[in-house]
Amino acid sequence: MQIKPWVSDAVEVKKSGMEGKGVYSVRDIKKGEVVGVFGGIVMPEEDIETLKKTVPAEKLNVDHAMYIYPGFIMLHDYINGCDPLCFVNHACTPSAHIENGIILLASRDIPAGEEISWDYRKTDNVGNWTYEFDCHCGTAGCTGKVQVGPQFRSKVPVASN
Ligand SMILES: C[S@@+](CC[C@H](N)C(=O)[O-])C[C@H]1O[C@@H](n2cnc3c(N)ncnc32)[C@H](O)[C@@H]1O
Ligand SMILES: [Zn+2]
Ligand SMILES: [Zn+2]
């Protein structure tokens, strides 16, 4: 299934202070305002492994994917290429969040010129898909690393007696 993305004219893509490109506000955005609706190609998470055998890694770009429901991933449109929402970075204390699987909303008032982010762990830590990267969000409470996947969810020590 393919979903066409929608992006508010309140945002633009430019070079990020965190990593690569990011999405920034071009005007003040009100708390609760919809910043975008994610689009892409929806599939059961295991289908990504099949695609990896035929689609070149730089085209598939699995970094540009998200869970929309446990077990179901939406991968960016790897046939036609990136859309602006591909470039929303993670922050540990983010300015936005996702509701209903694909709707990106401002979590607070966002002034013009700020990078828009959401906490990837709130959406992606629900399946077998695993990734880890050093976080450069620079927000208060940054945990230093972003870790998603089953092995990270089972890190809580279990008492032996
Ligand atoms: C959906 S992409 C975001 C756009 C990315 N910056 C780009 O230019 O393609 C997700 C990837 O961006 C990087 N990223 C996102 N948030 C980050 C952060 N807070 N610190 C460091 N890297 C980050 C990670 O490599 C992650 O796998
Ligand atoms: Zn993309
Ligand atoms: Zn962080």
The answer as to whether 161 is a domain residue is no
- Which atom of ligand 1 approaches the CA of 87 most closely? 4
Nearest to 103 by CA among 2, 1, 5: 5
Q: Is the CB of 125 within 6 Å of ligand 1?
A: no
Q: Write out pLDDT tens, residues 106-129.
A: 999 999 999 999 999 999 999 999
Q: Could you say which ligand is closest to the alpha carbon of residue 84?
A: 2
The answer as to whether 103 is a domain residue is yes
The answer as to whether 159 is a domain residue is no
Q: Write out pLDDT tens, residues 5-58.
A: 999 999 999 999 999 999 999 999 999 999 999 999 999 999 999 999 999 999
The answer as to whether 85 is a domain residue is yes
Report CA(27)–ligand 1 centroid distance (Å).
23
Share of the chain above pLDDT 70, in %: 96
What does pLDDT average to over the chain? 95
Q: How far apart are CA 132 and CA 152, in angstroms?
A: 10
The answer as to whether 143 is a domain residue is yes
Q: 104: domain range?
A: 2-153
The answer as to whether 73 is a domain residue is yes
The model carries a pTM of: 0.94
The structural domain count of the chain equals 1
Q: Residue 38 belongs to a domain with what CATH number?
A: 2.170.270.10
Report CA(54)–ligand 3 centroid distance (Å).
34
Radius of gyration of the chain from its Cα atoms, rounded to whole angstroms = 16
Whose CA is closest to atom 13 on ligand 1?
19
